[in-house]
Structure 1
């Protein structure tokens, strides 16, 4: 009997039996070579996240938040340590399989939107899944439904430069959710928006992820956002210095 590969296990769509082990970070460290200097960015981070949690990574610029998100997503590989998601160790996957895992199971929302300027709103949302071989019609149907959820059902044919910053971020949220990921990572998603628009985008993101019981991990330096989280992980100089469970926010 042939053994299933780690990737096949990961993409089966099943949730782990033990929710406590949904995401496990085990002595995670990351360093970069800068000339003759080895710069340590993360220092042996160990933590476990449960399925369905809204976790805030709180810390100032340079504390290691974005690097940690990149390691959890598999965009970068740790220098030492392991990231395990849904019982799959990302370091056990080759580069291609890590890319497929990320494409199929993780949604990533960036501070600066990262929309393709030559594509329409609808095309920006559907392109990643169409490149993955999904049915164009089926993906478009899901994308249109998400545009309705984010209040942009009439802007599908518009190009990104015709949208406000808040509208562009709402498109980015729709793009991150169109493939129904089990995990959503957000790197300062309101950091490039004014306070009022940022609150609207944040409320929308929480509504969409909580209604679908998705795990959301968000990096921010804003303590007001942390008040809405189920759990706050405070980072400083590459260390995890505090891990506080606040209970499920209403």
Structure 2
């Protein structure tokens, strides 16, 4: 029943909010920032309602590590579609995501993603992939934070998948801080369940200390970036007992 109610709400919400998307599209022609803020509020409300219906209970750690005076790039492990819902609503700032381009196969959904500044990565075309990296860096330069999942796909294993280099190239080109994010328990909301049925679950999101690669020499930068997956995995394992209580 939980799954049916949540899915119905999500589908009907996407459909019936579409006129608001059209309004935001027109507003953006006059005032891009105002349209962006309104879109963020709409998405936050929608995500919050979905998580409430699903029964996900979120614990957030380390918000003091997020600077309030500058855009950053969040880099997290990827377990579930609920990573996006949980992280977006855990952060008190506008936030876009880099997604795989096949998300556009879902009718209407990507329209709202456009509204909050998401970008779409085509991993089969190197030229288009580079264009997306530069586009994402430009969004951060313009003052809007972005979140990226460098594993590239939802990971069902105990160990993190290798991080793809593109995420860190974005931070380098944007000249921004990197905030590592350890995500724990989101897969228990859906992907870890039989037939992907929705279940109530505890979710822990931890924002780790910022990583600054600005001004580092290539060798130093590589050492700093190579350490990020280990930090995320250590925090994730530390927080696992919190979702099993």
Instruction: State the TM-score bracket (shorter-chain normalisation).
Output: 0.3 to 0.5
* Structure in which a larger fraction of residues adopt strand: 1
TM-score, scaled to structure 2: 0.37
* Structure in which a larger fraction of residues adopt helix: 2
TM-score, scaled to structure 1: 0.36
